Amino acid sequence: MGEVRKLQSVSATEPTCPFGVCDGSGWILGPENIARSCECREQRIARARSRGVSSVIPPKYRGVGFDRPPITELDRTVVSVVREYVDRLEDNVAGGHGLWLMGDVGTGKTSLAMLVSKSAIERGRSVAIYSLPRLLGRIRRTYDADTGEQSHDDFLERLTNVDLLHIDDLGAEKSSEWVLEQLYAIVDSRYEQERAMVVTTNLDQPALEEQIGARTVSRLVEICGDPLPLFGDDLRYRLAGA
């Protein structure tokens, strides 16, 4: 019995193939002991390259779903577009296609974006999740050699390599030449490498261009298409009073 429990414990901790094809190693053993790579191997490499970035769904959003508030309270047209994106998530991520959610405070932008990121993580994709102020703070720490953090170039490379980069509150940071440079470097790198992004912002497109620069917004349009607008009353107050 002890040996059985030991084997069960080992198998529970071993990586599994999300496609149910290989034994979790990323390789498939064929005839004459010739190995070929499994479809999941590319995902495993991407996750390894993305170590050191934040990929944890905050506790508040771990239960988010299309059939639960606040998603059920949002604009049906926008939710339908996001649902379609999630239904075709593999193709969208592979093609470097993203989403841009725009609207007032409390209109559900972050909940929808977290639902996309959660779905990507559940499907074995590598994801980096940051609010803009937190992301810029993380980049600033790369200049401090005493912290033992990754170098600036290494961290930006990891941000480029993740399958999906999720930036919340784009445009929330006070603008400066340094901020503009960092944002353009991140967005442009993901554009060139055809990597998907999901972003949220309280600003409409003209205001965002003024805040973070027209060329960065132009790249976002190339990656994410036109912004999906979410407007209305603050859902936090509406749901709290329900």
What kind and span of H or E run contains 196?
Answer: strand 196-201
Q: Is the dihedral of CA 14, 21, 39, 117 positive or negative?
A: negative
Helix boundaries (H) for 101-176: 109-122, 132-141, 152-161
Higher pLDDT, 18 or 11: 18
Q: Is the dihedral of CA 191, 193, 198, 200 positive or negative?
A: negative
User: Does residue 132 have a pLDDT over 60?
Assistant: yes
| Structure confidence at residue 56 (pLDDT) | 82
| Structure confidence at residue 42 (pLDDT) | 67
Which tokens go with 79? 């939710």
| Structure confidence at residue 8 (pLDDT) | 37
Q: Place 13 in a pLDDT band, splitting at 50, 70 and 90.
A: very low
Query: Which is it for strands 35-37 and 27-29: parallel, antiparallel or unpaired?
Result: antiparallel
Q: What is the pLDDT of residues 183-237, one digit of tens each?
A: 999 999 999 999 999 999 999 999 999 999 999 999 999 999 999 999 865 555 4
Which tokens go with 206? 């003209």
User: Does residue 170 have a pLDDT over 80?
Assistant: yes
| Structure confidence at residue 48 (pLDDT) | 53
Of 30-34, 35-39, 106-110, where does mean pLDDT reach its minimum? Answer: 30-34
Instruction: State the chain's mean pLDDT as an integer.
Output: 83
3-class secondary structure, 87: helix
> Under a CB-based contact definition with an 8 Å cutoff, are residues 158 and 133 in contact?
no
Mean per-residue pLDDT for 158-163?
92
Q: Where are the beta strands (DSSP E) in 21-175?
A: 27-29, 35-37, 99-103, 127-131, 164-168
84-89: list long-range contacts, CB under 8 Å, 24+ apart. Answer: 85/116, 86/115, 86/116, 86/119, 89/116, 89/119, 89/120, 89/123, 89/125
Instruction: Name which of 56, 59, 61, 57 is nearest 71 in CA terms.
Output: 61
- The CATH number of the structural domain formed by 44-240 is 3.40.50.300
Q: Place 143 in a pLDDT band, splitting at 50, 70 and 90.
A: confident
d(CA 6, CA 61): 35
Domain ranges of the chain: 2-39, 44-240
Higher pLDDT, 123 or 12: 123
CA atoms in the 13 A half-sphere facing the CB of 146: 0
User: Does residue 129 have a pLDDT over 60?
Assistant: yes
Q: Place 41 in a pLDDT band, splitting at 50, 70 and 90.
A: low
Determine if residue 26 is left, alpha or beta; phi over 0 gives left, psi from -120 to 50 gives alpha, anything else beta.
Answer: left
| Structure confidence at residue 172 (pLDDT) | 87
What kind and span of H or E run contains 228?
Answer: strand 228-230
Q: What is the pTM of this model?
A: 0.76
3-state helix vs strand vs coil in the chain, percent to 5: 50, 10, 35
